[in-house]
Homo-oligomer: A and B are copies of this chain.
Amino acid sequence: MSLGIAVIGTGRMGADHVRRIDSVIGGARVAAVADLDADRAREAAAGIEGCSVHTDPAAAMDAPGVAAVLIASSGPAHEAALLEAFARGLPVLCEKPLTPDPAGTLRVMEAELRLGRRLVTVGFMRRYDSEYQELQRTLEQGELGRALMLHCRHRNAQSPPFFTTEMLIRDSVVHEADATRWLLGQEVTAVQVLRPRPSSGAPQGLGDPQLVLFETSGGVVVDVEIFVNCGFGYEVHCEAVCERGTASIGAGSGLVTRGAGRAARAIPEDFTVRFAEAYDREVRAWVDGIRRGRVEGASAWDGYAAALVCEAGVRAQECGERVGVELPERPALYA
C-alpha cells in the first residue's frame, strides 16, 4: 500500500515535492495539499487522483489516508505545522530550517522529547547526494586517517532580491553547518567570519562573499567560502584534509582522493553502477509514455537496424575486411 502524504506549502519547493511524490518516486502518493493560497494548492494537486486541497495544514493532515507530512511552507509556519503533526503522531519531513530561530527549534525538540519517539526528519538534502555520501563513507572508513580540515565552497550564481547578509549564514552556510556535523560526527564549537570587500556584483548592502570559519569538538578547522552572487553558476565543493590524504567533491569529477603520490577517482565496477540511473529513467519514461497513451523510445526498427549492423560486424570479425550493411526501406510506422 502506498504511503499517503500531506504536503504543507505548495510554493516552489512544495510543488516540486508534490511532483516528486506523484511521479518520480515509488511507494507514496500525495493524499492532501495545503497552502494559504488556495489556487496555488489546487494547481499543485491538479490531476492527482484522490488528493484533497486545503488552506489549513491541520485539515490536510486530517484528510483520509494521510500517514505522513511533508512541510515545505515558509519558515515561520513550520513550528505550528510540526506541532500539529506531533498531535496526530505523524512522521514529518520538514524543509530546513526547522524553525527560523533556535528558541522555536528548542520548543519543537522538547515537544518531540515529550512524545518519547522521533517523528521529525529535517530536509538536509546534502546527506542524500551521492558525492557527499561517498565522501562520508571515505571519512568513516578511515583509510585517509583522521580529518584535520574541511575546505568548503558554496556558490550561487545570483541571490534573490530579498536576500540579506544574515541569510548568507541562515539560509546558505546552514548546509555546511549540517554537513560538517554529519561528515565528521562532531559538533561545531566556534564560528568566526572574515568579510572581504564586497563584490560589485552583489546587491548594495549585501556583504557578499564571506569566509566563515568553524572549529569543531574534535579540533577540526573548517573554512567556508559563501558567495551568493558569483555570477557563473552553482557550485558546492568540499575537500576533507586528513592525516594521510585528502578527499574532495564538487569539482565536476566526482570524489577525488589524494594519497600515496596520486590523485585518483574511482572507475565504476560494472554497467549496473554506471547506468543505474539510466535504467531508472528508461523504465520511468516508458511508464510515463504509456500512461499518456504513447509508445516511445527505440523501436523495433531500431532493434532491427542494430541487429543487421551486428550481423555485418560478426562477418567482419571473421573475414577481416570491410562488410557492407544492407538496410531495407524504413517503414512509415517508424519514421
Report which of B28, B236, B310, B313 forms a contact with A287, defined as CB distance below 8 A: B28
Do residues A122 and B302 form an inter-chain contact, with CB atoms below 8 A? yes
Report which of B130, B145, B235, B309 forms a contact with A191, defined as CB distance below 8 A: B309
Do residues B70 and A283 form an inter-chain contact, with CB atoms below 8 A? yes
What is the bound-complex CA distance between A121 and B261, given in angstroms? Answer: 34
Which residues of chain B are near A305, meaning CB under 8 Å?
A: 177-178, 181, 187-188
Do residues B283 and A27 form an inter-chain contact, with CB atoms below 8 A? no
Do residues B196 and A324 form an inter-chain contact, with CB atoms below 8 A? no
Do residues A221 and B192 form an inter-chain contact, with CB atoms below 8 A? no
Do residues A149 and B196 form an inter-chain contact, with CB atoms below 8 A? yes
What is the bound-complex CA distance between A304 and B108, given in angstroms? Answer: 9
Q: How far is the CB of A181 from chain B (nearest CB, A)?
A: 6
Q: Which B residue's beta carbon lies closest to that of A229?
A: B243
Which residues of chain B are near A163, meaning CB under 8 Å?
A: none
Which residues of chain B are near A262, meaning CB under 8 Å?
A: 232-233, 262, 264-267
Central interface residue in A22, A102, A280, by most chain B CB within 10 Å: A102
Report which of B109, B170, B214, B300 forms a contact with A304, defined as CB distance below 8 A: B109
Mark out the residues of chain A between 240 and 286 whose CB falls within 8 Å of any chain B CB in the assembled complex. Answer: 241, 243-246, 251-254, 258-275, 277-286
Do residues A270 and B157 form an inter-chain contact, with CB atoms below 8 A? yes
Do residues B199 and A148 form an inter-chain contact, with CB atoms below 8 A? yes
Does A36 interact with chain B (Cβ within 8 Å)? no
Do residues A232 and B252 form an inter-chain contact, with CB atoms below 8 A? no
Do residues B221 and A299 form an inter-chain contact, with CB atoms below 8 A? no
Report which of B5, B117, B302 forms a contact with A333, defined as CB distance below 8 A: B117
Contacts A25-B284, A127-B298, A190-B322 aside, 18 further interface pairs with beta carbons under 8 A come to A22-B26, A25-B280, A93-B297, A98-B307, A102-B307, A102-B311, A112-B300, A121-B296, A124-B297, A126-B278, A130-B277, A145-B201, A170-B310, A195-B221, A195-B320, A209-B241, A210-B317, A235-B274
Mark out the residues of chain A between 4 and 35 whose CB falls within 8 Å of any chain B CB in the assembled complex. Answer: 5, 16-17, 20-28
Do residues B105 and A307 form an inter-chain contact, with CB atoms below 8 A? yes
Return the CB mask of A290-302 against B: 1 if under 8 Å, else 0: 1100011111111
Report which of B156, B254, B306 forms a contact with A181, defined as CB distance below 8 A: B306
Do residues A200 and B146 form an inter-chain contact, with CB atoms below 8 A? yes
